[in-house]
Chain A
Amino acid sequence: MKSLPQPPQWAVRFLEWFCPYLLFESVLGDLLEEFDDDVEQLGERKARARFIWNVISFFRPGILLRNNFKLKIIDNIMFNNYFKIALRNIRKRKLYSFINAFGLSIAIAFCVLIYLFIKDERSFDQFHKNKSDLFVVARTSYDAWGGEPTYEHSLYQQLVLGPQLQQEVPEVKRIARFKSGYTGVLNFNNKSFEESFGFTDSAFFKMFSFPLLSGDIKSIFKNPDEMVITTRVAERYFGNEDPVGKAVEFDFGGEKRLFTISGLVDVPPSNSSLQFNILIPMENHPSYEWQMQNGWRSFSTPTFIQLEHGADTALVAKKMEQAVEKFVKDDQDQERKELNIAADIKLLSYHLNNIEGMHMNTKLAWDNSSDPQYSYILAGIALLILVIACINYVSLSLSASGVRRKEVGVRKAIGAHRNQLISQFTIESIALAVISMIFGFALVFVLLPYFNDFTSKQIHITWGNSFELVGLIFLLALFIGVLAGSYPSLFLSSFKTSLVLKGSNISKLKAGFTKPLVVLQFALSSFLIISSLIMYKQMEFITTKDLGYNNELVLVVNTHRGYALRNNGLVEKMRVALQGVPDVKLVSGSNSSFGGGWNMMGYTEDGKNKMSYVYDVDPYYIPLLDIEILKGRNFDPDMPSDSNAVIVNEALVKDMGWTDPLSEHLNWEEDEASEGARVIGVMKDYNFLSLQRNVEPLFLKEKDAFLNYLLIKIEPDNIPETIALIEDEWSKVSPDKPFSYSFLDDDVARQYDAFNKWMNIMGLATGFAIIISCLGLFGLSGINALNKTKEIGIRKVFGAEVFNIFILLNRQFVWLAIISFLLAAPVAWYIMSQWLEKFEFSIELGWQMFVFSMLSGLLVALITVSYHGIKSAFTNPADTLKYE
């Protein structure tokens, strides 16, 4: 007998898949009935086709949605119930819920902050429209004086490089040199402020996306006396008026000049590597002419280029080198000879770095770069804190499970499926996660200003990124809810009905799972405690170290003398003027303040090239700073011959190998004939650089012409009045310049801003980690107390003291904390000694610090666990033993 024709089975399976269970049977029945009819009337082949078509026609909302709808009705009811129970539980066990939600909110908030931080770091310089064609020229060159190759890629190039490249390399579309960090005085309508400014080229505005709000981009910087200002500057002088076309007086070289404002731009966004307030054409640079003529050995100015779209950067770099080669060949040949190196050794090579990667490229020597390592470390810490918070949740839920046993038993007894219990507990943890999410988001808002302070960033929550943040937080909450909820729900749902309802404690909690996690948590916290402590100690050491000079109560005043006013004897005039002010002890001048730049000078000794730092000072400098003279004497204001004398430091004497320094001369002039400056004194080494650096060779020379900073030592009393009096005198001696001052010790401290910032973030992370770890420990001690309920009861019945029980319960936590600490200490020791190596002067890693960290960690741990310990110890044994 021939077998009956069958409809395609896959279509049946497909129908079964999408068709609601309740409808499937009758629908398939109808379809089969029609199939049979069709086979008779149309033949098997057509009938099969029609069957398929019919199945597909059932794939419609009317059927599909019914599927969900039917399921949803059941689920909604259960979901509502679960949700109600969840909320009830959260409310009933306020302490647990609070701890849980608190830990999770902190973790969420921290993750979000770190996310914002990393996002901001990554967004640097990404806003330029033609960023893919914009490059910064980097140079690798041999340090001519030391003879050692430097592998740092310097961004400071010859002023003449840019124009030369534009001429010789066809792929270069535009160039803009950009040199900022200068200060000048801007004067308009009797309003006069000190402003920072920079030099650049007209192409700057075409290359970078700092669009002109007002002004014409085509004609900008056609004249050298044009100026572009940001809205920040404009507000100060012009309010809401359009400043374009206005003439202002600008003084940056000691000489007042008129500039016409030809452009207004927005303040550069905080995530721009190029920051400026005022820009004027490069030609105004005081040594512009000289550098353009002879400047192939003078590296001063970052140069940006825009390549033709799609140009080959390697090829351009090669052409760059060839273009430069022509000009520097003779120079370099001579240099090779001087340095005694083979003729084929490259002294100079150029390459191009896309500006997109500029901020995070630590190989580039550039003030605004940032180490991506910080981002990675922070991301790691954020992730760890998140994991720790999840671990807490797990251990807290587990420790709370005693209360839930009966609920689980009853639910199971009335027929709850294990899956249903799992989804119930998962919903509970998601509910908690959602609550934490709301708090976490609020925390982000609260903490963001402080975080910005810590990190010197300007991150804001705007409409644009708030959706993204909400999305991120939601994902985090879901992740935490599912991850943290999974183990407790699996555990809780596994209780055996009969045993639970009999009141047995047989499904004993296994703390074995949480113990390693708690050790991990505490190890991380210990690590952070130790690291922060060491960082703190190091900062304390640096800021209070005897630097070899006294920087307290020294006012630093910028003289704004510049090039034109070199020889106006301003410092001397101020010294005379301030003689009448009683609280002024000493007045001196220097060409450079601490942390505010330096000059270096090369000189030749016995045919060897050496290099030294050099400060121009006046005779009052050494007494003002209490620098100790070991041999010889200070400059004498009454001896004119001292203008050709130097005072050197010990490091220089050592570098030179002098045995009798006072009989030596230092020849830094180019001509070999002269003997050079006479050494009249040797001063004790003092830390004129940041303490990350050793004391390098330094000499002081007396030169009034370059005293750019006024140093004023004052008495500790009546400081505000004294400063006011000094300002009065200043406005008489130098009426057209604003009086701006800082304290020298502040300037010195500012050199450690980056470390301070880093220390703040670490401190924040440490605080979070400690809080969250303690919560975890709290949970674990809860589990422990729960497991030992009966034991405690029996012990109490037999007369154990409360104290004994407390010890019994907490002994193991002390051990856990010690184990964590022993794990963390070597890691912290290793990493922190690496960090300390960055400093030439650093603290010793003593055992005291480790012991201190451990004891404080233990103390925190003991305080944390004492809640459960005390609670259990005081429980009436009648309550715990009544089921026996």
Chain B
Amino acid sequence: MGKTYLGEFEELVLTMVGILGEEAYGNAIVEEIKQRLDRKVNLSAVHVTLYRLEDKGLVTSDMGGATATRGGRRKRIFKISNAGLSLLRDLKQQRMQLWELLPQLKFGV
């Protein structure tokens, strides 16, 4: 298999899965993105992305506990996999390297 690439939204969702840890499921991710980035995202888009990430082996999922507000439905809890984590790290590293190459902006007096 070749190198895995991630889209911007995929990267965002993957990061959120990592951040939320044990509490990473569809709605929580939507809420987290809304609160931290002030960005409204669609629940279905998050779901689709999560499944796609699962297909790529970057996250794993398990059925979690049910809560009353969910009408007794269990959550599908996503967990970032080692591959996902290392991909995020790689991405960060690459960004940093590229950032280094960017000419430092100087404010003129």
- Which residues from chain A sit less than 8 Å from chain B, CB to CB? 23, 25-34, 36, 54, 57-58, 60, 62-63, 66
Contacts and interface: CB of A to CB of B under 8 A. Distances in A.
Contacts of B75: 26, 29-30
A27 B42 CA distance: 13
11 contacts: A25-B73, A26-B63, A28-B71, A29-B76, A32-B71, A34-B27, A57-B43, A57-B45, A58-B44, A58-B47, A63-B44
Nearest to B76: A26
B72 to A, nearest CB: 8
B74 interface: yes
A26 B26 contact: yes
Given A33-B69, A63-B48, A27 B63 contact: no
A63 B42 CA distance: 14
Given A26-B63, A30-B27, A63 B73 contact: no
Interface string B29-60: 01000000000001111011101100000000
- The binding surface of chain A is classed by DSSP as helix
B27 A23 contact: no
Nearest to B68: A36
B6 interface: no
A26 B44 contact: no
A54 B51 contact: no
Contacts, number: 67
Given A33-B67, A54-B43, 8 more contacts: A23-B51, A25-B73, A25-B74, A26-B25, A30-B75, A32-B73, A33-B69, A54-B42
Contacts of B71: 28-29, 32
Nearest to A63: B48
B70 A29 contact: yes
Interface of B: 25-27, 30, 42-45, 47-49, 51-52, 63, 66-67, 69-71, 73-76
A48 to B, nearest CB: 15
A31 B48 contact: no
A144 B43 CA distance: 91
Given A34-B27, A60-B48, A63-B48, A29 B43 contact: no
B4 to A, nearest CB: 18
Max count, chain A CB within 10 A of own CB: residue among B26, B44, B66: B44
A30 B69 contact: no
Contact of B43 (A23, A25, A30): A30
Contacts of A23: 47, 51, 76
A36 B76 contact: no
Max count, chain B CB within 10 A of own CB: residue among A28, A30, A36, A57: A30
A31 B48 CA distance: 14
Contacts of B51: 23, 62, 66
A62 B73 contact: no
A23 B71 CA distance: 16
A17 to B, nearest CB: 16
B27 A57 contact: no
Contacts of A66: 51
A386 to B, nearest CB: 46
A57 B51 CA distance: 16
B48 A26 contact: no
Contacts of B52: 62
